[in-house]
Amino acid sequence: MPTLGIDLGGTNARAAVVDEHGQILTSTKVSLTERSPAAVVEVIAQAVAGAMVAAPGVEVRGCGVGAAGQIHRDSGIIAVAPNLGWRNVPLAGMLTERLGRPVRVVNDLAAAAWGELNAGAGRGAHDVYVVFVGSGVGSSIIANGQLVRGGGGVAGELGHTKVVPGGRRCGCGELGCLEAYVGGHNLIALARELLVSGRSTVLAELAEGDPARLTPLTLERAAEAGDPGSREIHERAGQMLGMAIANMVTVLNPARLILGGGVLMNCPGLRRFIVEGVQALASTTSREGLLIAEAELGDDSGLIGAALLGA
């Protein structure tokens, strides 16, 4: 029987009716105009209603939500959601009451990993490590075919491992997180600092002097053009990502490493750093037989995974 999947991002909510094979039957997207918990719940309800109207006569048996943030395992309380500015929001309870059906809330990368495992690049594997680099950095672990969530539900938070003690402040509020140096928002912030300082004529030319035009790809192109400041930021980000993921390969020994997210898909140079880092730094035995694959489901991975987890 189909289930409802919801992908809650920082700017919109998507809802879909998904069958048991991970195929999307209908989907809708509604923009977030406010980010208060009550307003977001109403937007989600609107998206769900739209998806259901587009699937007349289809019964659904459950609902899963993938949301960016640190989420308590059993309660569905979002402890921290930097993109929404939330702390300790009982989203699962609020949605269960509003939608009139049980709702399971999981981290967006857990949902994406489950989607890729069942309907994407992870099919046929039992031990998978998934890393997405987009506006932030997320990862999820699947061991022996099961999602590893940890005692409190926040296992796999690669983006919030520390790489520079006392370093840049991350969106989570802590200092020196990997995400503070390699997440898309932070790469843009670092590029903006470089542009505004006047130390990069190449970056200024590519962005036409407008900081609002900066993207991680702009930074990568400036680095490849030989701009010293851009190259420093880009290489540091790539080396940090490569080492962090190589260490996780050594620890977890996955059969498959799946890479995705807007930054990695649009910045092949950063992806190369990861592949080279894993080959050079992961232990020899841990990378034997390892397959590095690109996520196949694109923006739908979290939507599909949330639905399957909500069944």
Pair 99, 280: CB distance under 8 Å: no
| Tokens coding 271 | 């992806």
* Identity of the amino acid at 231: R
Number of CB atoms found within 10 A of residue 164's CB: 14
Q: 152-208 pLDDT, tens per residue? A: 888 998 999 999 999 999 988 899 999 999 999 999 999 999 999 998 999 999 999
Instruction: Read off the pTM.
Output: 0.93
Sign (positive/negative) of CA torsion 276, 279, 282, 286? Answer: positive
Same domain membership, residue 17 and residue 149: no
CA dihedral 279, 282, 283, 286 (to 10 degrees): -90
Q: What is the 3-state secondary structure (H, E, C) of 220-254?
A: HHHHHCCCHHHHHHHHHHHHHHHHHHHHHHHHHCC
Number of CB atoms found within 10 A of residue 34's CB: 10
Compute the radius of gyration of the chain from its Cα atoms.
20
Same domain membership, residue 161 and residue 196: yes
Same domain membership, residue 108 and residue 220: no
| Arithmetic mean of pLDDT over the chain | 95
Same domain membership, residue 158 and residue 276: yes
Same domain membership, residue 140 and residue 279: yes
- The per-residue pLDDT for 311 is 82
Same domain membership, residue 84 and residue 161: no
Same domain membership, residue 305 and residue 291: no
Half-sphere exposure of 245 (CA within 13 A, CB side): 36
Same domain membership, residue 50 and residue 188: no
Number of CB atoms found within 10 A of residue 90's CB: 16
Pair 51, 3: CB distance under 8 Å: no
Same domain membership, residue 168 and residue 74: no
Residue 120 main-chain phi, psi, to 5 deg: -135, -135
Chain centre distance of CA 260:
8
Residue 46 lies in domain:
3-115+299-309
Q: How far is CA 91 from CA 106, 190, 302, in A?
A: 10, 33, 17
Closest CA to 116 of 147, 74, 83, 153: 147
Same domain membership, residue 65 and residue 41: yes
- The per-residue pLDDT for 88 is 95
- The per-residue pLDDT for 23 is 95
Same domain membership, residue 245 and residue 132: yes
Which portions of the chain are predicted below pLDDT 70?
Answer: none
Same domain membership, residue 205 and residue 185: yes
Q: What is the CATH number of the domain that holds 226?
A: 3.30.420.40
- The per-residue pLDDT for 56 is 86
* Count: domains in the chain: 2
